[in-house]
Amino acid sequence: MAARRLGAQTGSKIVDRLFVAVLFAAAIVFLAIIAGLAIELTRGSLLSLKTFGFRFLWTSEWNPITNIFGALPLIYGTIISSLIAIVLAGVFGIFAAIFLADFAPRALARPLSFIIELLAAVPSVVFGLWGLFVLAPAMRTVIDPALQKVFGFLPIFSGPSYGVGLLTAGVVLALMIVPTVTAFSRDVIATIPVDQREASMSLGATRWETMMKVVVPAARAGIFGAVILALGRALGETIATTMVIGNRPEIAVSLFAPSYTLASVIANEFTEATTDVYLSSLVELGLLLLIVSIIVNGAARMLMWSVFRGARSAR
Amino acid sequence: MIEAAARQASLETRELNAYYGEHCAIADVTLEFRPLAITALIGPSGCGKTTLLRTLNRIHEVIPYARVTGQVLLDGEDVYDQGVDPTALRRRIGMVFQRPNPFPTLSIAENVAAGLSRQMRGARRREIVERALRAVGLLDEVADRLRSSPLMLSGGQQQRLCIARALAVDPEVLLMDEPTSSLDPISAANVEELITQLSGRYTIVIVTHNMQQAARVSDVTAFMLADEDGPGRVVESNETTQIFFHPRDQRTEDYISGRFG
Amino acid sequence: MRSYRSRRIAGAAGIFWSFACAFVAAASLLLILGYIVVKGGGALNWQFITQLPRPVGITGGGVANGILGSIITVGIATLIAAPIGVMTGLYLALFARGGFAESVRFLSDVLSGIPSIAIGLFAYSLLVQPFKHFSALSASFAFAVLMLPLLIRTSEEAVRSVPRTILEGALALGMTTFRSTLRIVLPVAWPSIMTGLLLSIARVAGETAPLLFTAFGSQFWELNPTNPMAELALQVFTYAISPYRDWQSQAWGGALLLVMAVFALNILARLLLKSRVSVLR
């Protein structure tokens, strides 16, 4: 038998070192892509940043003809449409999550969850198509007039309705983000240990009271995180919004009015941008979206993680 | 493999300490493992016997932040030396785990051959697989389904498969981490009998929390103990008959007679 | 303390309200799907799937070049993203420690929330602007970036879920970590990794925003990825906002195709996931 010295074979050491190195290189490539994203967007915005500075954020004029660009109308449209979306999606999504987590019989919970998750898979342009040809006419002919009849004294429901506008965009966005709210909230609620529920019920609380007074408050941070995560999605949504928001860079009080969002304006005008400043302003809007989504996502993840970690240590 | 003359490999540790990060799991372990005999490591849970076992074939260092100080000498060479290739070491020191761990996506025959060099092909490979399966008493039971999945086998059969897999590589030392504790009594007895048969051909180190098993199977027994939050140490090590009938240390006697553990 | 009876009624009402919310959410999907199937089904015919678009204003024609273009673009994106994503996931599962691993995971999560239009801008400035040329390749790059977070996360989880004792069993036989991972661990994790791959393909199959200034679209057949290329999602968008009835109905047809593709991928992914469970006892 040949001598089997331990130090003899170094071939396998090289193989393993190479293996780690290649995998590490992949991770570095990934990091480089993220860095590249931040760098390129910043570079592209430089001209606009130099020209307008921080005034960009509160200038209310977006005028390609005079080359004066201000993001305020776009920020307004983005915020209002997203706000409508998370109010609607929050209410429906959280209660749907409550139902699916604890109250739905098994036979019902699975298919319902599955259908709601499929909603998340529907492409944005399909939502936009449906919103444009089905929802918008319905809003214009039925829903908006009804709202105006009942709530017309409120300025947000004043003025004519064209079908496309802030409210319609908000509803479409709500449909798009409700799966996010539902899925993440349901996961967070499920993390709350069973013994907390059992303790509450053994004190005489009904199942509903247990849910609303014990479980949901315990999961509060995580549910909030889920809503914030959904908000992040709504803020960056482009195509569906573009198709139903009316594309008018003006600030109006009424929710029936057409509006414009940060993402929509990039989508609509990027290929038409004639001057360097125009292009740079559009890229700066992209940079703004990037920064906002990083902050919103970071906050959402931290909130949700705090609940997961808390539940784990409680076990 | 079985037919070839058994090779005596001397295995010993010198002042071995093992750490998980900052936590010291075993300290000052100096033990000689008698060649071609069965040495049992016994002691209460948490005494470090499994950790000690895993330092012998350097599987311990697979856990992140795990490390070792001191020496483990195989035929006089420290296995923790700079130039040593752990994969070569593990071909000389094989391991059988507490729960049978056949590779799920390989067939029974492929499992047994898993550790063989890729250069080994065809007839030679088949021959080794058959010999290994015969050595563990599995060949008759699985001869007609060598290509099927090992997950169809019973727990006892799977563990014997894992032993065959370890033997196919032709090691000098066999490490066994509580090899029967997850098996039903009949399978456990079968595997125990197999281990006794293997003695005399391999140096075997077996961790067990079953004292009767240690008494039945081993030639030498080492008793380990860890104080409150302290590292595990070897309290005493001797011929099995001596440990069980004339223990030198009071703590050994307490453990043997069931006063704790 | 309210009477037990009134508390129970309140509870029942609450549960019913929750059910109603779940029902509305699910029903709205079915409603939208219903419209797509009905209106899109009408536009789906052999001509639609096999012909090129007709010039503006002329009825007829199809989206064949868009279907082909989308397949090519997503295919190239997968070729770019899969190695990077799966290998990064492997690295996180097998070798990464402490701060570095946490940072990569955190950044991957953050990337998954960045609007696709911002990533489109990135692809534009990297691959379109310097060459003054739209291309399917730049679109593939944008898609690849969108696919990475999901690929990384699912690959890491897939490898982590393989019991440690299997990896240790392989190492204990004297196999290198490389061979243990490749021959023993990866085959067990493979169905889960494939699931992640399918889901990430589904994620980008319907993406439109980045395409607006990367692939840009085309009226003709195109096989060269360095040229602008027709994309189905882009055609749906362009036709939908156009004033032509015929194009609008074609938009529904294209939307139906997109939905079918995305749902098929999702369902395939789920089936694959179910098959994995039977491999591990």
The residue-averaged pLDDT of C264-271 equals 91
pLDDT of residue A227 exceeding 70, the answer is yes
Chain C residue with Cα closest to A109 = C22
pLDDT at A1: 34
Least confident segment among A11-25, B193-207, C266-280: C266-280
Residue B150: both structure tokens together = 């090992």
Helix (H) or strand (E) holding C140: helix C136-160
Residues of A in contact with B81 (CB under 8 A): 6-7
Averaged confidence pLDDT in chain C: 92
pLDDT score recorded for residue B2: 47
Please name the residue of chain A whose CA is at the shortest distance from the CA of residue C127. A40
Is some CB atom of chain B closer than 8 A to the CB atom of A5? yes
Under the banding of pLDDT at 50, 70 and 90, the label for residue C7 is: confident
List, in order of start, the domains of chain A with CATH numbers.
Answer: 55-314 (1.10.3720.10)
What is the pTM (predicted TM-score) of this model?
0.91
pLDDT at B120: 81
Is 70 exceeded by the pLDDT of residue A2? no
Work out how many CB contacts closer than 8 A connect A with C.
Answer: 261
Q: Is B176 within 8 Å of B209 (Cβ atoms)?
A: no
Query: Is C188 close to B105, i.e. CB distance below 8 A?
Result: yes
Q: What is the per-residue pLDDT for A305?
A: 78
Q: C3 at the B interface (CB within 8 A)?
A: no
Q: What residues of C are in contact with residue A207 (Cβ under 8 Å)? A: 11, 15
Do C26 and A116 lie within an 8 Å CB cutoff?
yes
Q: Mean pLDDT across the stretch C44-53?
A: 88
pLDDT of residue C140: 97
Q: Residue C172: is its pLDDT beyond 50?
A: yes
pLDDT digits (tens, 9 = 90+) for C131-156: 999 999 999 999 999 999 999 999 99
**Interface-testing mutation among C21, C151, C203, with chain A (most A C-beta atoms within 10 A):** C21
- Other CB atoms within 10 A of residue A53 CB: 9
- For residue A16, the distance in angstroms to the closest alpha carbon of chain B comes to 10
Average pLDDT over residues C168-175: 95
Closest approach of C168 to chain A, Cα-based (Å)? 15
Q: How far is B213 from chain C (nearest CA, A)?
A: 24
Which of B65, B91, B103 is closest, CB to CB, to C174?
Answer: B91
Residues of B with CB under 8 A from a CB of C: 57, 59, 62, 64-65, 87-91, 94-95, 97, 99, 101, 103-106, 114-115, 151, 162, 165-166, 169
Query: Is it the case that residue A263 has pLDDT exceeding 60?
Result: yes
Q: Span A173-186, mean pLDDT?
A: 94
Residue A197 has pLDDT above 90, yes or no: no
Nearest to A26 among C91, C107, C108 (CB): C91
Per-residue model confidence (pLDDT) at position B100: 95
Give the residue-averaged pLDDT of A223-231: 92
pLDDT, tens digit, 9 for 90 and up, residues C199-250: 999 999 999 999 999 999 999 999 999 999 999 999 999 999 999 888 999 9
On chain B, the residues whose CB falls within 8 A of the CB of C170 are 103, 114
What residues of chain B lie within 8 A of the CB of A1, using their CB? 7
DSSP collapsed to 3 states, chain B: CCCCCCCCCCEEEEEEEEEECCEEEEEEEEEEECCCCEEEEECCCCCCHHHHHHHHCCCHHHCCCEEEEEEEEECCEECCCCCCCHHHHHHHEEEECCCCCCCCCCCHHHHHHHHCCCCCCHHHHHHHHHHHHHHCCCHHHHHHHCCCCHHHCCHHHHHHHHHHHHHHCCCCEEEEECCCCCCCHHHHHHHHHHHHHHECCEEEEEECCCHHHHHHHCCEEEEEEECCCCCEEEEEEEEHHHHHHCCCCHHHHHHHCCCCC
State mean pLDDT over A206-216.
88
* A1/B85 Cβ within 8 A: no
Domains and CATH numbers, chain B: 11-102+172-256 (3.40.50.300)
CB B161 within 8 A of CB B111: yes
Q: Which residue has the tokens 């925003």?
A: C209
Q: Quote the CA–CA distance of A130 and B247 in Å, as a whole number.
A: 84
Whether the per-residue pLDDT at A60 is higher than 90: the answer is: no
Q: Using the beta-carbon criterion (under 8 Å), do B88 and A13 form an inter-chain contact?
A: no
Mean pLDDT of A56-65: 85
A136 alpha-carbon distance from chain centroid: 22
> What is the spatial distance between Cα B90 and Cα C168, in angstroms, rounded to a whole number?
11
What counts of helices (H) and strands (E) characterise chain C? Answer: 12, 0
Distance CA B6, CA B89 (A): 18
CA atoms within 13 A on the CB side of B183: 25
Encode pLDDT of C110-130 as tens digits: 999 999 999 999 999 999 999
**Residue-range domains of chain C with CATH:** 61-277 (1.10.3720.10)
Q: Contact at 8 Å (CB) between C253 and A131?
A: no
A308 and C CB contact within 8 Å:
no
- Compute the mean pLDDT over every residue in chain A, rounded to the nearest whole number: 89
- What pLDDT score does B195 carry? 94
Q: Which residues does chain B have with pLDDT short of 50?
A: 1-3
pLDDT of residue A312: 64
Q: What is the pLDDT of residues C71-108, one digit of tens each?
A: 999 999 999 999 999 999 999 999 988 889 999 999 99
Whether A29 and C18 lie within 8 Å, measured CB to CB: no
**Predicted local confidence at residue B1, as pLDDT:** 44
Shortest distance between the Cα of A186 and any Cα of chain C, in A, equals 12
Task: Read off the pLDDT of each residue in C146-168 and give the average, rounded to a whole number.
Answer: 95
Closest CA to C121 of C207, C233, C214: C214
Q: What's the mean pLDDT in C155-174?
A: 95
Tokens read off for A28: 């570095």
